[in-house]
Structure 1
Amino acid sequence: MWYMGEARDALLDAAVEYAAHHGIADVSLRQLAAALGTSHRMLVYHFGSKEGLLVAVVREVEARQRAFLADLDGSLPPVEMGQRLWERLSDPAMWPYEKLFFEVYSQALRSRPHTAAMLEGVVESWVAPIADLNVRNGVPPGDARATARLSVAVTRGLLLDLLATGDQDGVREAMDRFLALYLNAYGGSVSE
């Protein structure tokens, strides 16, 4: 039925919002359902399990981040695009989502039930659009995918560093250095 998708989307939006303010990894499915104004049965119906809901939340937040990247003004210098994306990703308001991302990612890597879906596209969903952006910004097509993958790896590594240490200045300096390396390698072309 058409309204079931709308109900799922509304629950997912509410879970994303709840996660931003309270975190959800340590909350039981019943507690989360009560906080979202629904029943645990509805969450199970729409997401299969608590882990399925966590994966859905992570995927939704990731999709919003990719949409932010896609919406950045294409006339901006690539370094500035990278800096703006980094500012968004490293904003303390994003930390609850990022902690959840790494927690669910780790569970998926350990083959925890209902989290395997997390691994589907977790890298490629970022590599493909960044590689396209790289090519548009003058990175040779033969280098575009590898540099996009490197960009994803560096960004995730620095986010993990930031969450572990809280060293915003040190991590920002490292990202600036990474962007400068891209700038030097591609004559002014840098993405993410």
Structure 2
Amino acid sequence: MRAPVGEGRARLLEALFDEFGENGPSPNLSMRQVAERLGVHHTLLTYHFGSRPGLLSAVLSEARRRDNLMIAATSGGLGFIDLFRAIWDFYSSTAQEERTRAFFHLIGLAVYERGAYDEFVADLDDLTRLLEAAARRDGSSATDAAQSSLVAVAGMRGLLLQRLLSPSAEVDAAAYRFIALFTKESTT
């Protein structure tokens, strides 16, 4: 008896994480090369993920889902500023650099070929929702919480991209200055 499609896909995702780690396979590997490393036929990957971009999208989406669950579990009681700092510290760490590169690689591809990355694009707002909930716990209105969270995540992504392109201590300093701007905003 064959496993349901979702189970097969989930098992393949686990195998991908086991073989390639949290960052998934290099974007330079073909579906055939990935399949060879997993010991499966490449058509199985195509069946479950559609294409190399679909495979990379699924792996990165799952990695981000796991990250966000971990961030949410460890920071459930944090306010907006402390959670913002924790998210920055997590994603700006050198341990996350390859995943951050993969994230921006897929973002660039999704801009040109949105339909191929629907799964990836669908969960882009997870961090925004985490920050929004923290802002609401701090007493912000729904509108203020939503807008502050969107600005925070957009700024953080811009700073992460800057960090990849021109790494320097100035980027980290700018990130903490950016976070501090929200502290000033919440006291006015």
**What TM-score, normalized by structure 1, do the two folds share?**
0.84
Aligned residues: 186
1:45 and 1:84 map into 2 onto residues whose CA distance is 38
CA RMSD of aligned residues (A): 2.4
Q: Which one is further off, 152-161 or 83-92?
A: 83-92
1:74 and 1:129 map into 2 onto residues whose CA distance is 9
Quote the offset at 1:19 in angstroms.
5.5
Quote the offset at 1:171 in angstroms.
1.9
Does the 8 Å CA contact 2:49/2:55 hold for their aligned counterparts? yes
Task: Provide closer, same or farther for how the CA distance between residues 23 and 173 of structure 1 changes in structure 2, counting only shifts above 3 A.
Answer: farther
* 1:92-116: CA deviation from partner (whole Å, max 9, x where unpaired): 2211111111111111111266234
Task: Provide closer, same or farther for how the CA distance between residues 64 and 20 of structure 1 changes in structure 2, counting only shifts above 3 A.
Answer: closer
Does the 8 Å CA contact 1:23/1:96 hold for their aligned counterparts? no
* 1:141-177: CA deviation from partner (whole Å, max 9, x where unpaired): 331111110011011111111111222x222211111
Task: Provide closer, same or farther for how the CA distance between residues 157 and 187 of structure 1 changes in structure 2, counting only shifts above 3 A.
Answer: same
Find 1:100's aligned residue among 99, 102, 121.
102
Task: Provide closer, same or farther for how the CA distance between residues 99 and 41 of structure 1 changes in structure 2, counting only shifts above 3 A.
Answer: same
Q: Which one is further off, 133-142 or 158-167?
A: 133-142
Structure-1 residue corresponding to 2:171: 171
1:64 and 1:90 map into 2 onto residues whose CA distance is 17
Which structure is richer in relative contact order (CA contacts within 8 A, separation 6 or more)? 1
Q: Which one is further off, 23-32 or 135-144?
A: 135-144
1:126 and 1:73 map into 2 onto residues whose CA distance is 12
Q: Find out whether 1:37 has 2:16 as its counterpart.
A: no
Structure-1 residue corresponding to 2:84: 82
2:115 and 2:136 map into 1 onto residues whose CA distance is 38
Structure-1 residue corresponding to 2:142: 141
Q: Secondary structure at the match of 2:40?
A: coil
* 1:21-72: CA deviation from partner (whole Å, max 9, x where unpaired): 7752111111111122322111111111111101101211221222122112
Identical positions, percent:
29
Structure-2 residue corresponding to 1:184: 184
Does the 8 Å CA contact 2:23/2:102 hold for their aligned counterparts? no
Amino acid aligned to 1:131: E
